[in-house]
Structure 1
Amino acid sequence: MFRQREPVPFTFLADADRFRSNVTPPPRTRPTAGQIAGRSLLGLTIVAALVGSLILGMPALELDHSTAPVQQSQATEGR
């Protein structure tokens, strides 16, 4: 009933979590002032668009309570 476990044909996959490379990656380049300014302007533009759409959309979401009351027909007034 019980099958004997077969050895893993690709032992390097099993050992991958223990492998350490002796090659260091190159250091990350720091963003320039122009890149920082561009990213911040993009972020501000997105935030301004969201706030603007919220401000412009709020009147459409409010209930209009200033309308005149519902008028009754003349047939129901005479009773």
Structure 2
Amino acid sequence: MSRRREPVPFAFVAEADRFRSNVTPPPRQRATVSQIAGRWLMGLTVTAGLVGSLIFGVPALSIDQSPAQSQQSEASQNR
């Protein structure tokens, strides 16, 4: 594969780095009380959902030893 040896004009990239706009963006609007309350409620809902899934999920994933012991005791009683 041969590479091109022609110079590539990247002056437009350098000019874009130096460009400064004299137009100021409009100021950000402050969030209203209802928007802040909504964000808090959404955050609390998501957090409560994650905590609830952990509360219900961790016991379901744990290995329960009691049924294995009862099966062994039933087998020993049948002998």
Q: How many residues in Structure 1 have an aligned counterpart in Structure 2?
A: 71
Aligned equivalent of 2:5, options 3, 19, 32: 3
Deviation at 1:69, TM superposition (A): 4.4
Q: Which has the higher helix share?
A: 2
1:25 aligns with 2:25: yes
Q: Which runs of 5+ in 2 are unaligned?
A: none
Question: Which runs of 5 or more residues in structure 1 are unaligned?
Answer: none
* Bigger radius of gyration among the two: 1
Q: Aligned partner of 1:31: which letter?
A: A
Fraction of identical pairs, as percent: 58
Q: State how far apart, in whole Å, the 2-side matches of 1:66 and 1:25 are.
A: 67
What is the root-mean-square deviation of aligned Cα atoms in Å? 2.3
Q: TM-score, normalised by structure 1?
A: 0.74
Structure 1 distance, partners of 2:43, 2:18, is 41
3-state DSSP class of the match of 1:26? coil
Shift of 1:26: 0.6
Normalising by structure 2, report the TM-score.
Answer: 0.74
Matched, 1:16 2:7: no
CA gap of 1:4–1:64, structure 2 versus 1, over 3 A, is: closer
